[in-house]
A and B are shown apart, each in its own frame.
Chain A
Amino acid sequence: MKHLPMILKNVWRNRRRTILTVLSIGVSLCLLGVLLAIYHAFYFSDPTPEQALRLVTRNSISLVRPMPQAYRDKIKRIPGVRDLAVEDWYGGQYIDDKAEHQFARFATDPDKIFIVRSEIKIPEDQKAAFIRERTACIVGRPIAEKQKLKLGDKIILKGDIYPGSLELIVRGIFDSEQNTDILYFNREYLEQSMPERRRGNAGIFLILANTVEDVPRIEKAVDEEFRNSPTQTKTESESAFSLSFVSFLGNIKVFLLVVCAAVMFTILLVSANTIAMSVRERVREVGVLKVLGFTRGVILGIILTEAVIVSLIGGVVGVFLASMMTGVVRHMPAFLDQLRHLTLTPSVALLCLGIAAAIGLVSAFIPAYQASRIPILDALRSTD
């Protein structure tokens, strides 16, 4: 490591090139970081303790087909099930179709939803009002702020899936670690607003298990229960359920991996090109070093270290940019739950730095090896 000062001098001697290279690697690695963070969020993130206890039951044909509401009591009796709530996707329109008026609207069981979604934080009096009043609704804080809603305000939702429109009164504003872009209202109210023949259906059942160990067993037991009924069900853990929305968008997994590979290859090219250029300019110097008694191995090491340092600096810049970028993504109107909490986890950041270092090493190897093997006389004679 006694050569470090010389290596650092070399890094800094063509400043413009070093800065351009660092920026080039940094920007590309930032992209890689964000993509890996998304990949991580989709496929590797651990569910929160609340999520790990929850399962979702839907119609096996498709999410959009309802199930008989009576399934609720049958599921409730399955061992290991602590409680469950119905959630019906209402859809509809608030004011108009514009993007700023979009948020999720669910009809649910007011007395159950706070048990099943225990992460919802709401003052006790507001909770009581929501359970008591049939036309009450609660909204997540971001919606309340964006739509300028306060307690006691009236909201009109125009139905598209359901006929007619609903008049709701905001009785609560909730916070949650999870999705807050939601309005909940009373299912009973929705049921009453519909003609007789359309009543008695449930969109999904959100089940809360007693323990994490109960989850896989409940998953099988529920589907088994309705196997011979006209309407069969599909039950899966909450995280698997939300992943199905990701796969709905297309083959995101392959898409992310292909782009990551393309980005990595680009960085490799950029880095290799830069190192090759700087080595080519210094062939004479390498000759001088050899005359001074530096061995091939040391010269190889010096050039490789230089490359690794440059790409690592690029890596640090990239990780920094990526962590800012994930912050931007978090605040975007994400329609996927997983993106709402997108962060550059330490593991992903480390992976990025590792990739940067590896790329530096791989890209510099051929030029460094060639330089270290060039005969002294040829090197000294070089006029490049």
Chain B
Amino acid sequence: MAIPISYNLRNLVVRKTTTLMAALGIALTVAVLLAMLSLVNGLKTSLQSTGNPLNVMVLRKGSTAELTSSVSRQDFQVLKFKPGIARDKAGQPEASLEMVSVINLASVDAPDGINVNLRGISPIGIEMRGLKLVKGRWFSEGRREVVVGESISKRFPSARLGGKIRFGRGDWDVVGVMSGGQSAVNSEIMGDLNQVSSDFDRTESLSSALLRATDEVAADALVKNITADQRLNADPLLETTYYDKQTSSAAPIQFLGTFIALIMAVGSSFAATNTMYAAIARRSTEIGTLRVLGFSQGSILLSFFAESVLLAGLGGVIGCLLVLPLNGFTTGIGNFTTFSETSFSLTVSPQIMLYGVLFAMLLGAVGGFFPARAAAKKEILVALRSV
């Protein structure tokens, strides 16, 4: 017969100080793990929600990023009339020639400046991305005006609405703030293609082209068609694939965070073991009594094991509560593909909280096994006699 779980719960309540301290140790471990997971989760959400599966991005052959790619206006004329490209209301092909560069801006975290993605774009490109204005207005063609992504406006003091940014041949006015939902577009600055490219002396050789296919089959066919076209010397790929590859930017943080969480886990599971051993030592008489009442060794093992898991689970829950305020906090991380900062919001999702609690319970299980076995193995008489 199993010992009721309320016995364990009451025991944890009776020794509140010890329980709370052991649980807090585990809570901090879980908090570190969860903070890292929410960071990686946030970055992945941002990158994976960028891009449309119907959009095909065209880069120069051999290039792995827009930054190092070049596509000429001449190539673009060829690309624009490939079969399978959707048409907009005016009957124009949905194709956008773009220029990408990075500029250095001082952010709240890095006063010395950090790289930010700058995109020269035309209205069709904005439409293809489904971007929405949050504040202000879009830049006008032929003027030194830019629109910044939402996170940029938050993280870079000089890039607020009405501010001025200096790059290329002079100052640019920030006339609007745009939102791309969760996507990486929030970390970009956009300006008129012709104006931006002339500032960077790249009016003929731009960076990339974005094409909208009519459907997914057409998108695949378009990729094949462009790859095979000898005139172009281009590497096409789905826009979603391009952003998906960038999730590897989270790898260093993920590695460091996992490493730290694991080491902390070892430390705190030892602490849990200690707490459980002390609990058992103090309750020797109780254990003896339970045995006399007819509870088997197995049920005592199970009961103490459960108590340890409960204790750690409590720690896990506290850990979740500790990281919950981080949800939605905006930060940035260096992206190795774009060589600029990708901003995103930390996301403490129910799923990672579940991971946190499970991780804590695992710690409790590991830490509690030996003490529980020791409890079960106590000789009845010895246990009863101990003072």
Contact = CB atoms under 8 A, between A and B. Distances in A.
B252 A281 contact: no
Interface string A60-84: 1111110000000000000000000
Contact of B274 (A163, A265, A277): A277
Given A27-B263, A160-B62, A277-B278, A62 B104 contact: yes
B169 interface: yes
A249 B254 CA distance: 12
Interface string A85-107: 00000010100000000000000
Nearest to A22: B270
A259 B68 contact: no
A251 interface: yes
Contacts of B32: 259, 262
B25 A266 contact: yes
Interface string B87-111: 0000000000000011110000110
A74 B109 CA distance: 34
Interface stretch (A13-21, A207-215, A372-380): A13-21
Interface stretch (B221-229, B328-336, B356-364): B328-336
B153 interface: no
Interface stretch (A43-51, A133-141, A267-275, A353-361): A267-275
B81 interface: no
Contacts of B278: 17, 277, 281
A28 interface: yes
A64 B68 CA distance: 9
B333 A269 contact: no
Interface string B153-176: 000000000000001110000000
Nearest to B205: A197
A228 interface: no
Interface string A21-39: 1011101101100010000
Interface in B216-247: none
Nearest to B101: A65
A247 B110 contact: yes
B309 interface: no
Nearest to A16: B277
A251 B29 CA distance: 20
Nearest to A274: B274
A135 to B, nearest CB: 20
B112 A250 contact: no
Contacts of B263: 27-28, 30-31
Interface string A248-260: 1111001000110
Interface residues of B, number: 54
B262 to A, nearest CB: 9
Contact of B25 (A159, A250, A273): A273
B62 A158 contact: yes
Contacts of B147: none
A160 B64 contact: yes
Nearest to A336: B252
A258 B34 CA distance: 13
B273 interface: yes
Contact of A28 (B17, B112, B264): B264
Given A61-B104, A160-B62, A249-B252, A265 B28 contact: yes
A299 interface: no
Given A20-B273, A60-B104, A62-B101, A273 B18 contact: yes
Nearest to B252: A249
Interface in A111-165: 158-161, 163
Interface residues of A, number: 52
Contact of B264 (A31, A161, A244, A251): A31
Contacts of A234: 104
A247 B28 contact: no
Contact of B28 (A63, A65, A159, A266): A266
A25 B104 contact: no
Centre residue among B109, B169, B267, B270 by max chain A CB count within 10 A: B267
A160 B35 CA distance: 35
Interface string B257-290: 0001001101110110111011001100000000
Interface string A225-244: 00000100010000000001
A51 B275 CA distance: 51
A267 B29 CA distance: 11
Main secondary structure of the interface of A (DSSP, over half): helix
Contacts of B148: none
A61 B264 CA distance: 41
Max chain B Cβ within 10 angstroms of own Cβ: one of A62, A263, A269: A62
A289 interface: no
A230 B201 CA distance: 11
A266 B273 contact: no
Nearest to B26: A266
A63 B112 CA distance: 13
A192 interface: no
Contacts of A254: 109
A64 B277 contact: no
B24 interface: yes
Given A31-B260, A249-B333, A17 B339 contact: no
B115 interface: yes
Nearest to B59: A160
A60 B331 CA distance: 24
Contacts of A274: 271, 274
A24 B268 contact: yes
A91 B336 CA distance: 12
A383 interface: yes
B140 interface: no
A262 B28 contact: yes
Contacts of B168: 61
A258 B264 CA distance: 14
A157 B124 CA distance: 37
Contacts of A258: 35
B273 A250 contact: no
Nearest to B17: A276
A384 interface: yes
A23 B267 CA distance: 7
Interface string B65-101: 1011000000000000000000000000000000001
Given A24-B274, A160-B65, A249-B334, 16 more contacts: A21-B271, A23-B267, A23-B270, A28-B263, A61-B168, A62-B102, A64-B115, A160-B63, A161-B63, A247-B109, A249-B253, A250-B334, A266-B25, A266-B267, A267-B267, A269-B28
Interface of A: 16-17, 20-21, 23-25, 27-28, 30-31, 35, 60-65, 91, 93, 158-161, 163, 230, 234, 244, 247-251, 254, 258-259, 262-263, 265-267, 269-270, 272-274, 276-277, 281, 335, 383-384
**Chain A to chain B: the 6 pairs with minimum beta-carbon distance, closest first:** A24-B270, A248-B334, A28-B267, A270-B271, A277-B278, A161-B68
